[in-house]
Chains A and B, each alone.
Chain A
Amino acid sequence: MQSKTSAKAKRFFALQRKYLSIPYIVFLILFIIVPILIIVYYAFTYEYVDEATNITYIKVSGQAFLNFFTEWSKINVLIVSLFIALITTVICLLIGFPLAYFLADKKVNKNAVLITLFIAPMWINFVLRTGATRDLLTWMGINGGTHPYLATIIGMVQNYLPFVILPLYTTMMKLDRSQVEAAKDLGANGVQVFFKNIIPQAVPGIVSACLMTFMPTMSSYVISDTLSEGKITLFGNYIELEFTNKAWHDGSFMALVMLILIAVTMVISQRFSKDEKKGGGSW
C-alpha cells in the first residue's frame, strides 16, 4: 500500500520536474529561436520597388548574399574586425596567461582576493567603463582622434581581459603542479617546461579564453565607436549601420555570417576540449 502511494507520488513529482523547463523553453523559443529565424528570413529575401507603382515588395532572393561577397567595403570590414579581434585576443592571452598562472598559485593568492580584484571591472557596465576609458586615454594623450587603432585595442583588452583570466584561472587551478616539478627534475629547462608541460595542460582554458574574446570583439560596436571616435568600423558597427540605413536584408545576412562564424569557432573549440578530455575550459 505504502509503496503504491510513494510510486504515485514519485510519478507526480517527476511530472512536476519536467514542467520546470517550461520557462526556459518559452524563453528559448521567443528570444533565441524566433529571432534567428527572422534573421534567416531577412537574409534570404530582398526588397524591391515596383517602378510603375512605387510599391515595395519582398521577394526570396540571394541578393544580400551576392552583395556581401561583391562589395569591397563589407569584406574590408570583416578583415578589419578580424585584425582587431586577433590582436586583442593575443594581447589578452599574453597578459592573462602569466597572471592566471600566478594567481592560481596558492602561495601567491592565498584566499582568492587577488582574482576578485582582477575580475571586478566586469561588474561595472562596459558602456560606462568605455566612457571613462575615453576620458582616461585623452588625458594620457592617446585619443581616438590621433591613434584610433591603439585606443580601440586598449579598450578591447581592458574590456575582455577578465573573460580571459577567469577561464585560464580555472584551468590553472586544476593544473598538475607535480608534473611541472617532475619535468624540472628530469632536466627540462624553463622554456621546455613551459611549452611541453604547462601549455598543453592549459589548452582547454586557452581555447575557451579565445572564444570568449575573439567573437565578442568582432561584433562589439560601442567600444570601437567611442574609443576610435567613429573612425574604425567593425563588423558590429557595420550591421548597425545597415539597419539604420534600412538595409535590413543586407544587415541580416551579415548577422548570419556572424552566427556562422560563431558556430564554426564553437565546433573547433569543442574538438579541442574533446581531444584533451579535460573539459576544464567549459567555463
Chain B
Amino acid sequence: MKKIMKVLPLSALILLAGSSLTSCATSNDGPVLRIINSEDYIYLNDPESGYDAPDMVEQFKSYIKENYPQYKNLQVVYDTSDTNETLYSELQTGKSNYDLMNVSDYMAQKIVSGNYAVPFYQNGLTIDNYATYASKDIKDRLDNIVATKKIKNPETGKYEDQDVYLKDYSVGYMWGTLGILFNPDYPGFKVEKEELIEDMQSFSALWDKKYEGTISIKNSMRDTYALGLMHTFEEEFKELKDKFDSGEITLEKYQEEFAKIFNRCDENNVAKIQKSLEELKQNIFGLEVDSGKQDIVTKKIGVNLAWSGDAVYSMDQAEDETQVGSNTSEIYYSVPELGSNLWFDTWIMPNCPRSDAQYELAHLFLDFICDPANAAQNMEYTGYTSFIAGDSILELVRDWYDYRTAEIYEEEYQIYSYNEASEEFKAIDYSDFLKENREDSRQDDKLYYFVPEGEKEEPESFDDLKDNIVYKLDEEDEPTEEQKTYGDLTIVNSSDSEIEEVDLKYFFTGTLDEYTDDDAIFYSDCYLPFTKEGSEEPNISVGRQFFCQYPNKETLDRCGVMRDYGKNNTYVMKMWENFKSDPLPTWAIITLAVFVTGIVGLIGYFVTNKVLKKKALKKYSQKN
C-alpha cells in the first residue's frame, strides 16, 4: 500500500498532462458548427464508387466562403453516432455539445418533451429550401407530432404541461416505412409465388405456420412492438379500414383512429402484445439487426421485417451478379394493407450553449442540404428517401426508375434508331438516344427500338429488328391492341414486366420549378398491382425499389407514426426483456437437473469418503 501511495502522485501528474493535451486541439478564431449524424447518412467523397464531388460538408464550407464572408473561417465538427438512445443519454448528462443532431421521430419527440431542444427560426431566421422543397405531405406528418413539455409557470412557480408541435423543433431529413421483405426464390417456401405475395400483404402472415422457420424479425424493441401490435389488434384495424374504404369515415378521421390504436402501450395492451410476440417467437427463424438484409439475399431466410432503406439495399444486392453469381433473385417489399409504421429522421437543435453565429450557421447548413440538388446527392449516396422533392429529385427518380429515361436501357437493351423516311437504321448509344430525345430536338420521323442485349445476333435489316422489338418510342403511331402507351413511350410486345403508372403528385406537388405536376407521374415496373379475391380494384402495396423509396399515396395514408411511449416505456421495456429471455425447454431442464444432482452427488461422495477415511485413520492411530 505504501508503495502505491508513493506512485500515485506521479500517475496523477501523467493524467493531468494527458488531459491538458486534448484541450488545445481547436485554435482557430472562426465559428465552429458542430453536427452529429448517423453513420453513412450524408454524401461523402468516394471516387472508387463514382462519387467524385467533395464531401457534403466540404461543399457547404466552400458555399459559405463564397456567400458569407463573415464566416469564411468556418470550421465544421462532423461526428457520427450509433443509436438514438446514446444521443439521448448524452443530452441528459449534459455531455453533448452539438448544434445539429439527427434523430428519429420518436426520439425528437422525447428530446423536445424533456426540454433538451431549442426551436429553430428564432431571430427572424428561415430555412427557405426546406419550406419550399420539402414534400408537404411528409412534412405535415412530422410537423404534427406533439411533444408534451413541462414548463415552469412564472406566476405560480409550478410546472405545467404544455403541448408543442415538432414543427418548430425539427427539420426533416429522410423518411421511410416498415414492411415485409420477401424473396420468392427462397427454396424453403411451400407455397407458390402468387400465394406468397397475397399472404405478405398482412403482418399476420408471420404468425402463419406455413412460414415456420423462414422469417427473421428485428432485434429492436420498437419495430417488433409495432409488428406485435398490428397483429394483436388486427380485427380493429380491419374494421377501421373497411369503414374508410366504404366511405363511412374521412381520411382524417381514419388516421386519427389509426393513431389511437397504433399508439396503445398501457399495461394491459402491452401484455396482450407480449403474448402474441411469444407465439411469433415459436414461428420465426431468428432475430437480427443487421444480418437480415444480407441473409435474404443469400436465401438463408425468405421473409424479413425490414426498413425501406434496407429493403432497397437487399434488392440491389440480390440483382447484382457480381455479388451473388448467377443466383440473382427478385426480392419484393410489402407495406401491409392494414398499415404499418412510418418513420422519419429529423434534425433537431440540442439545448446547449451556442453563439448566434453557430445558431445562424446551423440554419444555413440545413438550408444547404435541403437544396434539391444537394438532397439528390445525399439520396444517391445513402439510398434513403429525402424529405426534399423538387426538380433534381424528380430527375433522379426518373433516372433510376422511369422506363422512359431509365438507365435500364443502357444495361439491358441495344437501342436502334430507325428513320422511316430513309428506311435507315443504326445502333446508337444510350447517351445519344437521350440527346436525340430531348423535347426540343426530337425528330418526329425517327423511331427507336429497344432490343434485349444478346438476344439475337446483330440485325441485318429492319425486318430482322422487328421480331425483337421490345420497346418502341414513338409519338405518332397509334398503338395497336397489344401495344400500350405510357406517356411518350409506346411499348410493343411487352414480354417481361407489367409497367404501371405511378402517381407521385402527392410528393412533388408544389415543389417543382421547371416541371409541372403531371411530370410527377412515372412509369415503372417496380410497382406490383395486386387484385385481391373478391375486390375489383387492384391494390398496390407490394413492389420493388421504387415502391420502397416512394410508396404511393394510398399506402402512405394507411401508415401511422408510432410515438414515443412516454411513461409507458417501462412496460414496453419489461415486455421486451421478457420476450427476449425464454425459459429453458423441458429437455434442458431435465439435463440441468441431472447434471446438478450428479455434481452434488459426486461432491457428496468425495466429502463423505474423506470424512470416512479420516475417521478410519483416527481409529487406526488410536488403536496403535
Which A residues fall within an 8 A CB radius of B? 18-19, 21-22, 25-26, 29, 52-54, 56, 71-74, 76-77, 79-80, 82-83, 86-87, 90, 138, 143-146, 148-149, 225-226, 228-233, 237-238, 241-242, 244-247
A53 touching B7 in the complex, CB below 8 Å, given contacts A230-B288, A233-B582:
no
B284: A residues at CB distance < 8 A: 145
Q: Point out the residue from B159, B221, B301, B578 that lies within 8 Å of A245, measured CB to CB.
A: B221
Q: Please report which residues of chain B, range 101-130, place their CB below 8 angstroms from some CB of chain A when the two chains form the complex.
A: 113-115
A25 touching B287 in the complex, CB below 8 Å, given contacts A233-B580, A241-B577, A246-B89:
no
B588: A residues at CB distance < 8 A: 83, 149
When C-beta atoms are compared, the residue in chain A nearest to B6 turns out to be A18
When C-beta atoms are compared, the residue in chain A nearest to B291 turns out to be A226
Cβ–Cβ contact A231 & B287, under 8 A = yes
Cβ–Cβ contact A87 & B591, under 8 A = yes
A149: B residues at CB distance < 8 A: 585, 588
When C-beta atoms are compared, the residue in chain A nearest to B3 turns out to be A18
A144 touching B584 in the complex, CB below 8 Å, given contacts A22-B7, A25-B4, A86-B592:
no
Q: Point out the residue from A54, A83, A247 that lies within 8 Å of B150, measured CB to CB.
A: A54
Q: Point out the residue from B150, B286, B581, B591 that lies within 8 Å of A145, measured CB to CB.
A: B286
B4: A residues at CB distance < 8 A: 25
B595: A residues at CB distance < 8 A: 86-87, 90
A226: B residues at CB distance < 8 A: 291
Cβ–Cβ contact B286 & A231, under 8 A = yes
Cβ–Cβ contact A76 & B581, under 8 A = yes
When C-beta atoms are compared, the residue in chain B nearest to A149 turns out to be B588
Determine the distance from Cα of A122 to Cα of B3 in the docked complex, in whole angstroms: 37
A25 touching B592 in the complex, CB below 8 Å, given contacts A52-B159, A145-B286, A230-B286:
no
Question: A132 to chain B: closest CB distance in Å?
Answer: 13
Question: A211 to chain B: closest CB distance in Å?
Answer: 15
Cβ–Cβ contact A145 & B285, under 8 A = yes
A73: B residues at CB distance < 8 A: 574, 577-578, 580-581
Determine the distance from Cα of A226 to Cα of B288 in the docked complex, in whole angstroms: 8
Cβ–Cβ contact A229 & B288, under 8 A = yes
When C-beta atoms are compared, the residue in chain A nearest to B219 turns out to be A230
- CB-based A-B contact count at 8 angstroms: 115
Q: Digit string of B267-292 for contact with A (CB within 8 Å is 1, else 0)?
A: 00000000000000100111110010
A144: B residues at CB distance < 8 A: 285-286
Cβ–Cβ contact B583 & A246, under 8 A = no
A25 touching B584 in the complex, CB below 8 Å, given contacts A145-B284, A238-B577:
no
Cβ–Cβ contact A238 & B580, under 8 A = yes
Question: B355 to chain A: closest CB distance in Å?
Answer: 27
A54 touching B581 in the complex, CB below 8 Å, given contacts A18-B3, A229-B287:
no
- Size category of the B interface is 35 or more
Most buried by B among A77, A229, A246: A229
When C-beta atoms are compared, the residue in chain B nearest to A72 turns out to be B578
When C-beta atoms are compared, the residue in chain B nearest to A81 turns out to be B581
B301: A residues at CB distance < 8 A: 145
Instruction: Provide a sorted-by-A list of 13 A–B residue pairs whose CB atoms are within 8 angstroms.
Output: A25-B11, A26-B11, A26-B14, A54-B114, A72-B578, A77-B581, A80-B582, A86-B595, A87-B595, A229-B216, A232-B582, A238-B580, A245-B577
Determine the distance from Cα of A149 to Cα of B586 in the docked complex, in whole angstroms: 12
Cβ–Cβ contact B219 & A19, under 8 A = no
Cβ–Cβ contact A245 & B576, under 8 A = yes
A237 touching B580 in the complex, CB below 8 Å, given contacts A29-B11, A56-B92:
yes
Cβ–Cβ contact B581 & A146, under 8 A = no
A79: B residues at CB distance < 8 A: 584, 592
B578: A residues at CB distance < 8 A: 72-73
Cβ–Cβ contact A54 & B287, under 8 A = no
Determine the distance from Cα of A146 to Cα of B152 in the docked complex, in whole angstroms: 56
B573 at the interface (CB under 8 A from A): yes
B169 at the interface (CB under 8 A from A): no
B152: A residues at CB distance < 8 A: 53
Question: A197 to chain B: closest CB distance in Å?
Answer: 16
Determine the distance from Cα of A47 to Cα of B582 in the docked complex, in whole angstroms: 27
Cβ–Cβ contact A80 & B159, under 8 A = no
Q: Point out the residue from B83, B159, B583 that lies within 8 Å of A76, measured CB to CB.
A: B583
A sample of 4 more A-B contacts (CB under 8 A), given A79-B584, A241-B577, is: A18-B6, A53-B152, A83-B584, A244-B83
Question: B277 to chain A: closest CB distance in Å?
Answer: 13
B95: A residues at CB distance < 8 A: none
Question: B169 to chain A: closest CB distance in Å?
Answer: 16
When C-beta atoms are compared, the residue in chain A nearest to B159 turns out to be A53
Determine the distance from Cα of A77 to Cα of B583 in the docked complex, in whole angstroms: 8
Question: B88 to chain A: closest CB distance in Å?
Answer: 7
B438: A residues at CB distance < 8 A: none
Q: Please report which residues of chain B, range 10-32, place their CB below 8 angstroms from some CB of chain A when the two chains form the complex.
A: 10-11, 14-15
When C-beta atoms are compared, the residue in chain B nearest to A244 turns out to be B85
Cβ–Cβ contact A231 & B150, under 8 A = no
B136 at the interface (CB under 8 A from A): no
When C-beta atoms are compared, the residue in chain A nearest to B300 turns out to be A138
B213 at the interface (CB under 8 A from A): yes
Determine the distance from Cα of A25 to Cα of B7 in the docked complex, in whole angstroms: 8
Chain A to chain B: the 7 pairs with minimum beta-carbon distance, closest first: A229-B286, A230-B287, A145-B285, A54-B150, A73-B581, A26-B11, A77-B581
B11: A residues at CB distance < 8 A: 22, 25-26, 29
B159: A residues at CB distance < 8 A: 52-54
B619: A residues at CB distance < 8 A: none
B623 at the interface (CB under 8 A from A): no
Q: Please report which residues of chain B, range 168-219, place their CB below 8 angstroms from some CB of chain A when the two chains form the complex.
A: 213, 216, 219
B7: A residues at CB distance < 8 A: 18-19, 21-22, 25
A143: B residues at CB distance < 8 A: 285, 300
A229: B residues at CB distance < 8 A: 216, 285-288
Determine the distance from Cα of A90 to Cα of B3 in the docked complex, in whole angstroms: 43
Cβ–Cβ contact B580 & A247, under 8 A = no
Q: Digit string of B582-622 for contact with A (CB within 8 Å is 1, else 0)?
A: 11110010011001000000000000000000000000000
Q: Please report which residues of chain B, range 543-580, place their CB below 8 angstroms from some CB of chain A when the two chains form the complex.
A: 573-574, 576-578, 580
When C-beta atoms are compared, the residue in chain A nearest to B289 turns out to be A230
